[in-house]
Structure 1
């Protein structure tokens, strides 16, 4: 009799746990819809943001949103290795407007068979300031569009830092179009010219980037897997890097992005990797 009671209790507990898990999954799966349908906030469509060429702020950003990013990367070049680090802060001062400040660093190490004199000098590459305005947020079509601008003040390397301090400027207007297909499939295109001005010669050099990405977001979470295709047109030259990636939530406001880089027809670059830590402080609306 005692054994039967124990068995019944175990079955009841298992069924209760299963029901609770199912209910929790149902609640999680409706988080997206509830967030977008809230009457107290402006409409915002959830989109998966690419991890390597990331956005200035979420599309349809809401006032008070903010985010810190720390990025670490490594690229295997033919004659030396490149190590990248960046610190980035982005925030939304008003609805649909995002602002960003970024400090990207590059450090170099000789590869096998190369000498220290053959590698570039370590540097704080530039100071980047950027803005992004979401001019279209269509909940019914699950589509958002934004325009933006990045201004990059290029700096001298550490060996000659301050002589001069600013060596050039990069002007980078861009357009973003994102579409969610159902609740889990996401696509995005980020495109625009990069116009580099070198102050010493006062010459300009223009390249054009087309970055496309596709992601599958795990239901009820902010985790996803996906891929970026980073394409650059430079006169008659074309380069593309394929970047498979995944994003995993550690705690509520901390995410980790892991990216691999596979170059296609790049003359001087081999495989690369990049890690992005994303911390979102509590939203102050």
Structure 2
């Protein structure tokens, strides 16, 4: 009887202490990871969760020497045809708080029926971007940044010999505001106009993007789950929004994978989509 009593007490202690110990270990890991990013010996920087679809040019509050490679793959159902996308981008910080990026985005189209006319596949363009974090508040766990993306739009693959190589320009100034609530919850707003200049028609079109994000970083890891609300108002005052649930998972010390699902609110132009992003951060020397 006494043996059974000790066994019962032991089980109760295990039930109450193991979760507590696991929680404590996760809290320690969270604290260490935040301290690693927000190293007090370096220039102030706040840990923020970065959206996976409309990603940032570089970490907010970037420090000199940081760099990152991204490779992305996407699939979208555009009703009468499928669109496959791919991108390769490199981003780095030449000085503290300034991030630069070069990106090559591709689009490939496949009709779903023989009598359907799909757009022509192409390298969309050459994208050059910069982002500067002008406010980093350790007290309020908030970072504000401004940036600019310039894209040289290119013609379709099949027209390389017969058409002008560059067909237009995209001009996209933007503003970013991010805040971390406690250790796990992250919010971010990314917004700005997109001005498109088409050379052949000598025409201009303006869209306005409002991208709001919410993420939860899982305790004891660099992984997170979250959601993007990608909203766009075009020149005809037509409003479109796509909801993008997402998750990021670390698969090695410097390698992560992001998985995104796209759910359009209005399906007149596009149905469900998916996107996969591989993120590689080469190690860099930290300046103490």
TM-score by length of 1: 0.90
**Displacement of 1:114 after TM fit?**
4.3
Q: Distance in 2 between matches of 1:220 and 1:41?
A: 23
**Displacement of 1:26 after TM fit?**
4.4
Confirm or deny that 1:223 pairs with 2:223. yes
Deviations 1:24-45 (A, max 9, x none): 5343121244235523211110
Deviations 1:7-28 (A, max 9, x none): xxxx9xx9xxx79967753431
Q: Distance in 2 between matches of 1:261 and 1:25?
A: 31
Confirm or deny that 1:67 pairs with 2:68. yes
**Displacement of 1:212 after TM fit?**
0.4
Asked if structure 1 preserves the Cα contact closer than 8 Å seen for 2:65 and 2:93, the reply is yes
Deviations 1:228-273 (A, max 9, x none): 0000001320000000000000011000000000001131210000
Q: Distance in 1 between matches of 2:139 and 2:33?
A: 14
Confirm or deny that 1:109 pairs with 2:110. yes
Structure 1 residues 30 and 109: alpha-carbon distance in aligned structure 2, compared to 1, 3 A threshold: same
Which deviates the most, 215-224 or 147-156?
215-224
Which deviates the most, 161-170 or 173-182?
161-170
Q: Distance in 2 between matches of 1:65 and 1:266?
A: 39
Which residue pairs with 2:141 in the alignment?
142
Asked if structure 1 preserves the Cα contact closer than 8 Å seen for 2:61 and 2:96, the reply is yes
Q: Distance in 1 between matches of 2:189 and 2:80?
A: 33
Asked if structure 1 preserves the Cα contact closer than 8 Å seen for 2:216 and 2:226, the reply is yes
Deviations 1:77-125 (A, max 9, x none): 11100000000100001100000000000001111x3436x11111000
Deviations 1:144-202 (A, max 9, x none): 01000000000000010252110000000000000111110100000000000001122
**Displacement of 1:284 after TM fit?**
3.1
Confirm or deny that 1:161 pairs with 2:167. no
Which residue pairs with 1:255 in the alignment?
256
The 5 A counterparts of 1:15-54 are 24-54=25-55
Q: Distance in 1 between matches of 2:27 and 2:254?
A: 21
Asked if structure 1 preserves the Cα contact closer than 8 Å seen for 2:62 and 2:93, the reply is yes
Asked if structure 2 preserves the Cα contact closer than 8 Å seen for 1:136 and 1:146, the reply is yes
Q: Distance in 2 between matches of 1:144 and 1:237?
A: 31
In structure 2, the gaps of 5 or more residues are 1-10
Deviations 1:36-70 (A, max 9, x none): 55232111100000000000000000111100000
Confirm or deny that 1:188 pairs with 2:188. yes
Q: Distance in 2 between matches of 1:31 and 1:58?
A: 18
Which residue pairs with 1:179 in the alignment?
179
Confirm or deny that 1:278 pairs with 2:246. no
Asked if structure 1 preserves the Cα contact closer than 8 Å seen for 2:230 and 2:241, the reply is yes
Which residue pairs with 1:56 in the alignment?
57
SS of residue matched to 2:130? strand
In structure 1, the gaps of 5 or more residues are 1-10
